[in-house]
Structure 1
Amino acid sequence: MDLRFDYRAGCTDDELAALTASHGGRAERGWWDRVRPHSLGWVTARTPGGDLVGFANIAWDGADHAFLLDPKVRPDHQRRGVATELVRRATDAARRAGCEWLHVDFEDHLAGFYFDACGFAPTNAGLIRL
């Protein structure tokens, strides 16, 4: 895997919109510019040419709890360990920041990835659809 992974490196709203659209997600312009100030940090994966192919955001409560949000990998780079490395680095960053917990929500079909590949444990949680 010839990619560069960085923590809190520059990343533009346009790059994230393109990455989101690449796998069929709903890309909302301005999203990253609104979210970035509230993030503990983020991890990016880039090709040697500088193209953004992976991203994971880490939100937090300012103390013990961090939240893994919006992990995404461009389809032509999936199933190569990119997402696992993004999550590993996000986990390390949250730990270094002094967080005690890293939370993640996901759809059922992603359980194997989060539990097996990334080391998350199942837990009870609550959710209200707004």
Structure 2
Amino acid sequence: MPELRIDPFPSAAELNALWSAVWGTSESRDFTPILSRSLAHIGAYRDDRLVGFVNVAWDGGIHAFILDTSVHPDMQRQGIATRMVRQATSLARERGAEWLHVDFEQHLTGFYRACGFRPTKAGLIKLA
């Protein structure tokens, strides 16, 4: 079972490799500005290789947001995402958040319900 690390600050190369495998993106990004403002983030590592990641963004107050839940396709269906989201939930609570939000596609409803989330109505505008 992969080791979960709290606030590991993986390199851009590590995160970009994971993003490419999970999301099919080839665009390289610098995640430093994002992670430096996060309430928390969790990395799942197997043999020092990043195989999973979740970010907990926040508003600086009582609201936190699960973003970018990702597990390498070769490692999916092993409970890694569940462990990371549960760890993220605990960290958000410990660090002062009172509400934890997550947006997800319909096919992930069962997963997030199993992690303790309940559906709510929300709005969204695509800006780009």
- Category of TM-score, reference length = shorter chain: over 0.9
36-45 or 21-30: which moved more? 21-30
61-70 or 8-17: which moved more? 8-17
**3-state secondary structure, aligned to 2:31:** helix
Following superposition, the deviation at residue 24 of structure 1 comes to: 3.7
Following superposition, the deviation at residue 34 of structure 1 comes to: 2.8
RMSD between aligned residues: 1.2
Q: Distance in 2 between matches of 1:57 and 1:13?
A: 14
Q: Distance in 1 between matches of 2:52 and 2:26?
A: 15
The verdict on how the C-alpha distance between 1:33 and 1:27 changes in structure 2, with shifts beyond 3 A counting, is farther
| TM-score calculated relative to the size of structure 1 | 0.92
Q: Distance in 2 between matches of 1:57 and 1:74?
A: 15
Deviations 1:78-123 (A, max 9, x none): 00000000100000010001100000001111111111x2110011
**3-state secondary structure, aligned to 2:53:** strand
What amino acid sits opposite 1:97 in the alignment?
R
What's 1:91 paired with? 89
Aligned residues: 127
Following superposition, the deviation at residue 62 of structure 1 comes to: 0.7
The verdict on how the C-alpha distance between 1:27 and 1:97 changes in structure 2, with shifts beyond 3 A counting, is farther
What's 2:17 paired with? 18
The verdict on how the C-alpha distance between 1:24 and 1:64 changes in structure 2, with shifts beyond 3 A counting, is closer
Q: Distance in 1 between matches of 2:67 and 2:103?
A: 8
What amino acid sits opposite 1:38 in the alignment?
R
What's 2:8 paired with? 9
2:61 paired with 1:63 = yes
What amino acid sits opposite 1:118 in the alignment?
C
**3-state secondary structure, aligned to 2:16:** helix
Following superposition, the deviation at residue 26 of structure 1 comes to: 1.7
Identity rate, percent: 50
Q: Distance in 1 between matches of 2:86 and 2:99?
A: 14
2:31 paired with 1:32 = yes
| TM-score calculated relative to the size of structure 2 | 0.93
What amino acid sits opposite 2:120 in the alignment?
T
